[in-house]
Structure 1
Amino acid sequence: MKKLVLATLLAGAAAAPLVAQTSAPTPPVAAKKPYAVKAPFGATREDPYYWLRDDTRKNPEMLAYLAAENAYADAVLAPTRPMADTLYREIIGHIKQDDASVPYAKHGYVYYTRFDTGADYPVVARRKGSMAAPEQLLFDQPAMAKGKGFFQIGNWRVSPDNARIAWAEDTVGRRQYVLKVKDIATGTLLADTVPNIEAGLVWSADGKTIFYVEKDPVTLLGTRVKAHVLGTPASADRLVYTEKDDTFYMSIGATTDERYICINLHSTVSDEQRCAPAANPVAFTPVAPRARDFLYNADHLGGRWIIRTNWQAPNYRIMVVPDAKAAAGRAGWADLVPTSDTVFIENFQPFDRFLAIEERSGGNKRLRMLTPAGKSSFVTADEPAYVMDLGTNEDPASPVLRYTYGSLVTPTTTYEVDAATGKRTVLKVQPVPGYDASRYVTERVWATARDGTRVPVSLVHAKTFRKNGTAALFQYAYGSYGYSTDPSFNPTLPSMLDRGMVYAIAHIRGGQEMGRKWYDDGKIFHKKNSFTDFVDVTRFLVDQGYAAKGRVAAMGGSAGGLLMGAVANMAPQDYRVIIAQVPFVDVVTTMLDTSIPLTTGEFDEWGNPAEQRYYDYMLSYSPYDNVTAQAYPSLYVGTGLWDSQVQYYEPTKWVAKLRATKTDANPLVFRVNMEAGHGGKSGRFERYKQNAEYLAFALDQLKVQ
């Protein structure tokens, strides 16, 4: 909903005469219709809410039910609206309205983004040579987004001659981007348009051709790479590559030296990178052929390929091969950075004078630089729980590394560090108006899970906090796909901490905070470790006096929403309120349907329920299938009608089943964004409105003023 519309509604509500409420709002009831979900081996499950799935998103009965849920949410949340408004003002009060990014240089131009006061979207611009030169406008996103319920530029690339810019644009929220191109000097939009693509784009060296990944219109998987020649219709685009294995995701990019265009193919347990010279991008050949349980990613600089791989290295190692030996595949690779049992290599970036490495140790992500002479130096950190990330480094000839540092207390700070001297220079500290970091403390504690595993937990609270077992706790986790949840600063945190709350990130198994084994121990037949880790962290924090039993909120989204659904079924008594955003809760039905986006590409993450052993295990934890007649915590569930990752009907069915089954009188709120996808509404302020809504609901349930 646009800000103006919301403001109008609020103004109207304020002006209306007060009417005494005689009864509590009545939740909507979804109809039950017989439907059998069958597995290939013969198992059958009844799903009376399957009818709520409508791939066209036009079924009047389904839309009426979603509208009723939104109306009910409005009614239930009406008493918390003043708190939501207060929280929203506090959150955006911590955001510098006219902020700008740190400029970076590339091919003779300096690029940056800047926000005008009150704008939801940034302006993207550049200047020739330095920031003293006149500004050239690349994207006036506030103008481009005007009148649209959703707007996003997924990616953009400037042509090698600096004259044109190509970008991928989404105005629905379904991540089905449209390729567009314009002349930078005149702003003239070219006739070149290609619909239904992934966000990634690459120019050929001559600037005449754009390479992109075409999406399947049903599964939304990237299936083919095509080459679009400027000035020709999309129907004439040349087919470059077709991926026949739909368990692989596909993207496209360029190497650091821009000499090669690479098609990147990735599955949970296998990678393949096919590259071709950017000057003659015709034959795309593998850096190494794919093989099961063989993962790698490669970059090129200085006449050699640098490869990060798990080959005989569960925590990865970095290897190199000179161009002359590259055709031999793995046989020509040699160790540059050996593997370690305690350090997980997550990423790298090559420079002419050094190699920058992102690695994980002790649950934190840190950076180190390695010189050709073998000298290794770490970038220092002063807090127990933090995150470092490689920044924007577009010039491999640079003698300095740009990186970012942050924590739950420290706003994101952009640094440059000299590889030769180690001297650090602060380029920018994220401005947070009205925030004083000295008032807060971050901790790293370790909770012991029921199987004896030590689980890292990042905490933050006010300095005045006393560990006496009376505080309210807000606990977050994700725990899937090897995605690590790092303790970075968030402008919503002060609103909780200033009210005496503790905020915790549980780094549960299924992420990769503690290395590859941490991920492997939280997927397929070990998935329940993610759920029990989360519950055990909660119990540890309560036992240690960080929170009061009965004053714990839990939150997760997407696969973290699966976590929330499983925890709600397994340990409802441990939580007063649970927030599940775009939750993946109908695991078995979704994974049986290969027409649904992401299904086939994730068999090695969850299992393939077409086989009974996977079916039985997934069925044992699938939140939708395990809803029972018991008391549940208060619940806030959010989804987007146009979600391409977790389809809207999963949480819709889950909510409908919960309403018909649960035995408690605790509120269950279902908020459906009708103009949004997996990431919620677009715009930097719009998302904070929903954040404020569910935070106000949680604080009310926790009795936090």
Structure 2
Amino acid sequence: MKPTFLLLLALLMTDNSQAAQTPTPPDVARKPHVVEAPFGASRDDAYYWLRDDSRKDKEMLAYLEAENAYADAFMAPLKPLQDALYAEIVSRIKQDDSSVPYRERGYWYYTRFETGKDYPIHARRKGTMEGPEEILFDVNEMAAGKDYFSLAEYDVSPDNRIVAWTQDDVGRRQYSLHFRNLETGEVYPEVITGVAYDTAWADDNKTLFYAENDPETLLTVRVKKHVLGTPPSEDQLVYEEADDSFYMGISRSRDDKYICIDLGATTMREIRCAPAADPREFTVLAPREQGNEYHADHLGDRWVILTNVDGATNFKLVTAPDGSTSRKDWVDLVPHRDDVFIEDFDLFDGFTAIAERSGGLERIRLLKADGSEEYVKADESAYSMGLDINSEHDTPWLRYGYTSMTTPETTYELNVETGERRQLKQQPVLGYDASKYATERLWATARDGTRVPVSVVYRKGFEKIGKAALLQYAYGSYGHSIDPAFSATTVSLLDRGMVYAIAHVRGGQEMGRQWYDDGKLLHKKNTFTDFIDVTDFLVAEGYAAPDRVAAYGGSAGGLLMGAITNMAPDKYRVILSQVPFVDVVTTMLDAGIPLTTLEYDEWGNPEQERFYDYMLSYSPYDNLEARAYPAMFVGTGLWDSQVQYWEPVKYVAKLRDVDTGPLPVLLRTNMDAGHGGKSGRFRKYRELSEMYAFLLDQLGADDR
């Protein structure tokens, strides 16, 4: 294996005995394996053996532990910087913080933290916030003694007496379902395993609907109903989905009149609903058809439906009467517009709140019962705004969230009738002074002429003279938009003179649905070239030195990191890649891997030769070649259910084979967590501080 940069330096400055103690990366065996496609194509994958679905292979686990030991040894000299970063980040957290309470069925629900504790306490008060506190869950007690714990969701019965909750003790997002009587404290004996996180009660307060996962693929495959006091083995099948490109969720409608099963693939959806008072038969609201993506909610005597049918690329709102089972009954409420992308809505008795995008920024439109419209005002030119928890529909008050790259998350309440606005809470960030920082909205021109929005933040006093270090972030997949929101952890980088930028690349939906379509399937490379072109723009405009640029992405954003590293390795000094999706073709050829079949409409099905060839042309693992690569910090979780651990592990092993440069490559495997990293509000900052210490050291930006 090649020596690291630190080893080369040590060889020059120390004697042989000292150099022998300098850490070197572990070696790993290569074992012949051929990955075949149905049409005859094949590829050699010498590290395929590192995949172990059981996660028990001793040789594999020993290699992961060796990589972690190497990362420990390499990072040891940077421990003071890592500790300083952790102390800074934690010092900004108000440890005894609490959420904004919301009212539902006569109770005020909220979450609070206690000083020094990792997990939240979920509680409620009856009538007013002056009533006695009733603790629903002290997650600190539930997580005690566990390496990982997540309370996913909880659902209180309509009569407020029983709570059902789902929890995960591993990080694989395979949940177990539990029940407790809130009046007596009795925990019911029945436990249902292998379920998704969301549930819905029927009006009888004893029947709960839940979705069951396939244990291998983790797909939600069937809906069942459980009656309290009966064995889970007797739970009745309500619905089973035969198409493995669909996922499903369960919820109650806005007015609590219906229980709905929401079935969705990437490019089509179907909703089946039953009366919550008598949920024996679930009726299709509109049959699935390719290209019809819709979301529905109910209030009063009508359905309101968000849909993209009939050429409504950016979506529109329609209505349908009770009893409708076909879109022939749909009537336009808010027509489609080419320049406005509708994302979501909330129904109220006197108005409809519509979350939409225009010009790459979010806004909230208020459609009143009399047909008049107005927009919720923003306080800055670059910001993020979205609907908050609006649990009740019979109120003139709308709750929404607002933030920018310099403004911490703020919750407002707006009276739609009077125009009065109240600030309910702003995220407390101890020691932070927003007046010391500045944010900008920029536009970079991509190589095909497309204008790509860029959000930038830095500490005031920064000069655009091409000397600063830059961290550029993006995601760019699944239509998921990355908005210019505040990050308390990023302040530690800004205070060291760095610039932080978000590239709103194609593949998200920041600029509307076409922005997403132009960054997926056979257009996926636009995501990668947009990111590179934004880098060139920021360097040319003086926001960064050309040799001090770092890039950061995770999951599908980790695919982006792998792609740009192969396409333009000389433009990036450091790559930070968390749980990266880097072995695209092999994963998408294997329908047995969790979630693969859901992804065909995002990446393509490589069993078809044109998709195989295109995916192969950018797959990071397959395009590694002999060249000098940037310094890299790659993170993964052994129990990750979304990007399996072996993808980044194989990637690093192969990268070390071909990398001709002197810069370090670290692989950090979290042995007791999944896609989201370690649980607990403080543990994750230890991981982030390590990654930031690596970043600052490599960029020479660790002086304050």
- Identify the TM-score tier after normalising by the shorter chain: over 0.9
Q: Given the alignment of the two structures, is residue 466 of structure 1 paired with residue 443 of structure 2, yes or no? A: no
Which among 347, 370, 387 is matched to residue 350 of structure 1? 347
Partner of 1:410, secondary structure, is coil
Partner of 2:590: 593
Query: Which residue of the other structure, out of 139, 164, 170, is the alignment partner of 1:172?
Result: 170
Where does residue 34 of structure 2 map in the other structure? 36
Q: Distance in 1 between matches of 2:520 and 2:321?
A: 37
- Mapped to 2, the partners of 1:94 and 1:364 lie a distance apart of 28
* Structure 2 match to 1:119: 117
Distance 2:454 2:133 in 1: 45
SS in 1 for 2:190: strand
Aligned length: 685
2:72 corresponds to:
74
The amino acid across from 1:496 in the alignment is: L
Instruction: Select 2:395's aligned residue among 395, 398, 414.
Output: 398
Letter in 1 for 2:164: A
1: CA distance, partners of 2:338 / 2:567: 33
Deviation at 1:404, TM superposition (A): 0.7
Matched, 1:524 2:521: yes
The corresponding residue for 2:571 is 574
The corresponding residue for 1:315 is: 314
Correspondences of 1:232-251 after superposition (within 5 Å) = 232-251=230-249
Q: How many angstroms apart in 1 are the aligned matches of 2:57 and 2:665?
A: 24
CA–CA separation in structure 1 for the residues paired with 2:601 and 2:436:
45
CA deviation string 1:479-500 (max 9, x = no partner) = 0000000111111111111111
Deviates more, 1:369-378 or 1:554-563: 369-378
Aligned to 1:690: 687
Q: 1:664 aligned to 661, 665, 676, which one?
A: 661
Paired amino acid for 2:158:
P
How far residue 382 of structure 1 moved from its aligned partner, in angstroms, is: 2.0
Amino acid at match of 2:46: P
Which of 428, 439, 446 matches 2:443?
A: 446
Amino acid across the alignment from 1:274 = R
Unaligned runs of 5+ in 2: 1-16
SS at match of 1:191: coil
1:25–1:75 CA contact under 8 A, matched in 2: yes
The structural deviation recorded for 1:21 is 6.0
- State the match for 2:297 in structure 1: 299
User: Match for residue 254 of structure 1?
Assistant: 252
Q: For 1:291 and 1:459, how far apart are their aligned partners in 2?
A: 41
SS of residue paired to 1:189: coil
**Following superposition, which runs of at least 4 residues in structure 1 exceed 6 angstroms of deviation?**
none
1:521-541 residue CA offsets vs partner (Å, 9 max, x unmatched): 000000000000000000100
Aligned to 1:270: 268
- Name the SS for the 1:228 alignment partner: strand
Deviations 1:112-153 (A, max 9, x none): 110000111010000110111111110011011010011111
The SS at the match of 1:489 is: coil
Equivalent residue runs for 1:318-337 within 5 Å: 318-323=317-322, 326-327=324-325, 329-337=326-334
Q: Which amino acid aligns with 2:53?
A: D
Q: Is the aligned partner of 1:339 residue 2:336? A: yes
For residues 571-626 of structure 1, the C-alpha deviation after alignment (integer angstroms, 9 at most, x for no partner) is 11000000010000000000000000111111010000001110000000000000
2:189 paired residue among 188, 191, 209: 191
| Alpha-carbon distance in 2 for matches of 1:192, 1:427 | 40
Equivalent position of 2:416 in the other structure:
419
- Taking the aligned partners of 2:279 and 2:378, their CA distance within structure 1 comes to 43
Per-residue deviation at 1:20? 5.7
Q: Distance in 1 between matches of 2:364 and 2:379?
A: 14
Q: Distance in 1 between matches of 2:183 and 2:547?
A: 61
Separation of aligned partners in 1, 2:110 and 2:201 = 21
The residue that corresponds to 1:546 in the other structure is: 543
Q: What does residue 45 of structure 2 align with?
A: 47
Contact 1:384 1:442 in 2 (8 A): no
Q: Does structure 2 conserve the Cα–Cα contact (< 8 Å) formed by 1:127 and 1:136?
A: yes
* TM-score, structure 2 normalization: 0.96
Structure 1 letter corresponding to 2:151: I
1:99-178 equivalent positions in 2, closer than 5 A: 99-178=97-176
Secondary structure at 1:697's aligned position in 2?
helix
Shift in Å, 1:22: 4.7
Cα distance in 1 for partners of 2:417, 2:257 equals 27
Q: Matched residues in 2 for 1:102 and 1:634: separation?
A: 42
Q: Aligned equivalents of 1:421 and 1:334: distance in 2?
A: 30
> 2:93 maps to which residue?
95
- Aligned partner of 1:339: which letter? H
- Look up the match of 1:652: 649
**Residue 391 of structure 1: how far off its partner (Å):** 0.8
CA distance in 2, matches of 1:693, 1:185: 45
Native 8 Å contact 1:172 1:676 kept in 2: yes
Normalising by structure 1, we get a TM-score of 0.96
SS at match of 2:188: strand
State the alpha-carbon separation in 2 of the partners of residues 370 and 149 from structure 1.
48
How far is 1:24 from its partner?
Answer: 2.6
Deviation track 1:392-430 (CA, whole Å, cap 9, x = no partner) reads 111100111011100110000000001112221000011
For 1:85, the equivalent position in structure 2 comes to 83
CA distance, structure 1, for counterparts of residue 18 and residue 420 of structure 2: 66
Query: Bigger CA drift: 649-658 or 184-193?
Result: 184-193
Q: Is the 8 A contact 1:413 1:426 kept in 2?
A: yes
User: Letter of the aligned partner of 2:319 in structure 1?
Assistant: V
Deviations, residues 172-205 of structure 1 (Å, cap 9, x unaligned) = 0000000000011232211121001000011011
SS at match of 2:255: coil
Gaps of 5+ in 1: 1-18
Query: Which one of 202, 212, 215 corresponds to residue 214 of structure 1?
Result: 212
Deviation at 1:383, TM superposition (A): 1.6
Aligned partner letter, 2:320 = V
What secondary structure is seen at the aligned counterpart in 2 of 1:554?
strand
Report the Cα distance in structure 1 between the residues aligned to 2:488 and 2:391, rounded to whole angstroms: 29
Give the letter aligned to residue 55 of structure 1: D
CA–CA distance in structure 2, aligned partners of residues 460 and 366 of structure 1: 21
Give the deviation of 1:660 after TM superposition: 1.1
Instruction: Find out whether 1:373 has 2:370 as its counterpart.
Output: yes
Q: 1:228–1:234: 8 Å Cα contact kept in structure 2?
A: yes
State whether residues 29 and 659 of structure 1, in contact with CA within 8 Å, keep that contact through their aligned partners in structure 2: no
Q: Distance in 2 between matches of 1:100 and 1:42?
A: 58
- Which amino acid in 1 is paired with 2:154? W
Partner of 2:238: helix, strand, or coil?
Answer: strand
Cα separation, 2, equivalents of 1:587 and 1:367: 37
Q: Tell me, yes or no, if the aligned pair for 1:572 and 1:631 is still in contact at 8 Å.
A: yes
Cα deviation digits, residues 21-65 of structure 1 (max 9, x gap): 654311111100010101011111110000000000000000000
- Give the residue type in structure 2 aligned to 1:429: Q
Which segment is superposed worse, 641-650 or 330-339? Answer: 330-339
Q: Show CA shifts across 1:435-477 (max 9, x none).
A: 0001011110000000000000011011111111111101000
Amino acid corresponding to residue 115 of structure 2 in structure 1:
T
The partner residue of 2:25 within 27, 30, 40 is 27
Q: Distance in 2 between matches of 1:251 and 1:453?
A: 36
2:531 alignment partner, SS class: helix
Percent identity (aligned):
61
Return the letter of the residue paired with 1:584.
F
1:478, distance to aligned residue in structure 2 (A): 0.2
Query: For each residue in 1:276-327, what CA deviation from the matched residue of structure 2 results, as whole angstroms up to 9, or x when unmatched?
Result: 1111112111110000011100000011000000012000000011225x23
- 1:365 shift after superposition: 1.2
Distance 2:680 2:334 in 1: 41
Q: For residue 499 of structure 1, what is the aligned residue in structure 2?
A: 496
Instruction: Report the equivalent of 1:13.
Output: none
1:362 to partner: Cα distance = 1.1
